[in-house]
Amino acid sequence: MDRTDANSGTRDVAERLRFDEAALERWLFEHIPSHDGGLKVRQFKGGQSNPTYLLETPRTAFVLRRKPPGKILPGAHAVEREYKVLDALGAQGFPVPRVYGLCEDEAVIGTPFYVMDMVPGRIVWEAHFPGLSNADRAAHFDAMNATIALLHSYEPEAIGLGDYGKATGFVERQVSRWSKQYLSDSDGGRVPAMDRLVDWLARHLPPDSGEARVVHGDYRCDNMIFDAQAPKVRAVLDWELSTLGDPVADFTYHLLMYRMPGGANFSGLAGMDLAALGIPSEEEYVAAYCRRTGRDHLPNKDYLIVFCLFRLAAILHGIKGRLARGNASSAHAAEMVERLEPLADLAWEEAEKAAL
């Protein structure tokens, strides 16, 4: 699967994800003063969890994200939380799309949704940023690093997100949550490496860091919109997994790009000549984040690498379950699911290497 082609642009709305466009138009007139009618709706190709739509009018464009229709797991697809964190971070000047309104009335289009700005720019789907000069590639990596460090600089209480999650026990809760979600989703089947990882993660759980910040949960290059001309992050997208938690765990998830291979199955950097590409090494990238956040190292990094790989595999397992239930959002869900077992195997390899 060509990730850029598979995820870029829009398509006709899938039959099962269609809704009453006239009802949406009435809502837009009531909640967005600049809306002037003439609505056309397309579905973005990307998005494995919450269906995302382009709302075009003769003068402007918006983006709508909604919960998928049909059976969903408890606590999943929380577009209400996405709206809350976007609203709070936008007020601080953090690069997120402007949000216009949240609709929790299922009578409008069938499930809750929110509407936000369509931010111009480009999304990069490959971790090695193809097509850029070495200097521009290095500058884009620095921009990603600075943006996640900025996110982790906010005191949740000070920006109105003190109640966005529990302030302690983040890693333990996350291990428990994703282990239970994997084990309870029988539609996704069992994966031997995942079963071993559930046991390993529980046995090697590190002490709580006691640190709480807003964490994105899925911070990677293809969840950002970059400026079309400059190495600048214009918007961070896809906040479904955000909560209060351990910022080191959040940053470690971002580091997975260094551990995963590139090629047909993954968009990673493992095996590439980073220096020849102008990309900082993992150690250099960690050091830059530590300088920006006042740290001297990343505690529990080996454990967190294993957990973050496991969690990503659990997300793919969830896509497999949704595919079996018939409510996967992306047309490329089946191709995504092919990565599940190789990713689980990679996580187990990291567990066997971890110096714990």
Give the range of the structural domain holding residue 13, as residue numbers without chain letter. Answer: 3-117
C-alpha dist (Å) from residue 83 to 23, 28, 151: 21, 16, 16
Cα–Cα distance measured from residue 254 to residue 70, given in angstroms and rounded to the nearest whole number: 31
Instruction: Give per-residue pLDDT as tens, 15-60.
Output: 989 999 999 999 999 999 889 899 999 999 865 578 999 999 998 9
Q: Is the pLDDT of residue 6 over 70?
A: no
Residue 108 shares a structural domain with residue 200: no
Residue 304 shares a structural domain with residue 165: yes
Q: Is the pLDDT of residue 141 over 50?
A: yes
Residue 247: CATH number of its domain? 3.90.1200.10
132: exposed, middle or buried (C-beta count within 10 Å: 0-12, 13-18, 19+)?
Answer: middle
Residue 88 shares a structural domain with residue 143: no
Residue 169 shares a structural domain with residue 313: yes
Residue 63: CATH number of its domain? 3.30.200.20
Residue 68 shares a structural domain with residue 148: no
C-alpha dist (Å) from residue 338 to 1, 54, 229, 233: 11, 28, 35, 30
Last residue of a domain, one of 70, 86, 117: 117
Q: Is the pLDDT of residue 5 over 60?
A: no
Residue 105 shares a structural domain with residue 153: no
Residue-wise DSSP of 117-133? E---SB---STT-TT--
Facing residues of 244 across strands?
Answer: 214
Q: Are 57 and 37 in contact (CB under 8 A)?
A: yes
Give me the number of domains the chain comprises: 2
Residue 243 shares a structural domain with residue 346: yes
Tokens of 237: 């997208």
Q: What was the pLDDT predicted at 31?
A: 94
Tokens of 54: 């382009």
- Model confidence at 1, pLDDT cuts 50, 70, 90, reads very low
Instruction: Give per-residue pLDDT as tens, 208-241.
Output: 988 999 999 999 999 999 999 999 999 999 999 9
Q: What was the pLDDT predicted at 48?
A: 55
Percentage of the chain lying above the pLDDT 70 cut: 94
